[in-house]
Amino acid sequence: MNTLFAANWKMHKTTAEARQTAAELKGLVSGKLKPGREVMILPPFTALAPVAGALGGAANFLLGAQNFYPQKQGAFTGEVSPGMLLDVGVSFALTGHSERRHVLGETDAVVGAKTAFGLESGLGVILCVGEKLDERKAGNLEAVLERQIRAGLAGVPKDIAPERLALAYEPVWAIGTGEVAGPKEILEAHAFVRRMLVEFFGASASEMRILYGGSVKPDNASEIIALDNVDGVLVGGASLKADEFSRIVLA
Ligand code: PEP
């Protein structure tokens, strides 16, 4: 399985800025990527096509989307379907990102419906899970992860191709805060996620990627990537500048 370096640009960048950052990143990384690594850019919807153009099908670069609506088409004002994303070259999309859960109010059931529908429609899905600080302090880490994973995977076929589904462990208290989870916390959470994946999918769970996200930076990326059960990183703030993100990708 390839180690994945995913850049979540959230609600940042005009089309011109996105095109320029993607082109710059491609220039900095191409030819230098260690074998078995791949890079994914997840720009806002408006910049998907420009970023696809800037990447120009470069090897080991993927286009991702931050969100979608779990219907084919219809009267869903403001929403975008998986088919529309596939049409502009997207191969993966996030579900369950903490900002969608806690700012936009998505429930576990909505996240589950999106995960199942995205996969059924032909997208790869990165299902994000993670506990809030009060949940961790109350000793509920595993209970929260278990609830989110069970609901997130409820409609996913057991025989799904393992490369099409990734989990991202993103402790909410470490997202955009500069506070990174320590190696022990990451190891424990990722081992728990792996055990849950094995329970759901059996042997193919060992081929599913588990990403870490939460204040990943150039100076902590290589240590995090080296940990057991860490198969990539999902990066927000430090992915916005090509130079900074390239140092994570090449770490
Ligand atoms: C994220 O948005 O998924 C994220 C991990 O953000 P940051 O790297 O800024 O903490």
pLDDT in tens, 60-100: 999 999 999 999 999 999 999 999 999 999 999 999 999 99
Position in ligand 1 atom list of the atom nearest CA 97: 3
Look at residue 179 in the predicted model and tell me its pLDDT.
81
3-state secondary structure of 74: coil
Residue 170 appears among annotated catalytic residues? yes
Residue 12 appears among annotated catalytic residues? no
Tokens in use for 161? 């191709």
Query: Could you tell me the residue ranges of all domains in the chain?
Result: 3-249
Phi, then psi, of 64 in degrees rounded to 5: -125, 160
Residue 20 — very low, low, confident or very high, per pLDDT cuts 50/70/90?
very high
Q: Are 152 and 111 in contact (CB under 8 A)?
A: yes
Look at residue 209 in the predicted model and tell me its pLDDT.
98
Take atom 7 of ligand 1 and give the residue whose Cα is closest.
236
Give me ligand 1 centre to Cα 44, in Å.
15
Task: State whether the beta carbon of 49 lies less than 6 angstroms from ligand 1.
Answer: no
Is pLDDT of 180 > 90?
no
| Per-residue pLDDT tens over the stretch 137-146 | 999 999 999 9
The structural architecture, per CATH, of the domain 3-249 is Alpha-Beta Barrel (3.20)
CA distances from 55 to 22, 26, 30, 140, 191 (A): 7, 7, 11, 42, 34
Full-model pTM: 0.97
Q: Which of 43, 37, 4 is nearest to 23 (CA)?
A: 43
Look at residue 127 in the predicted model and tell me its pLDDT.
98
Look at residue 155 in the predicted model and tell me its pLDDT.
97
Q: Which of 49, 44, 35, 42 is nearest to 239 (CA)?
A: 42
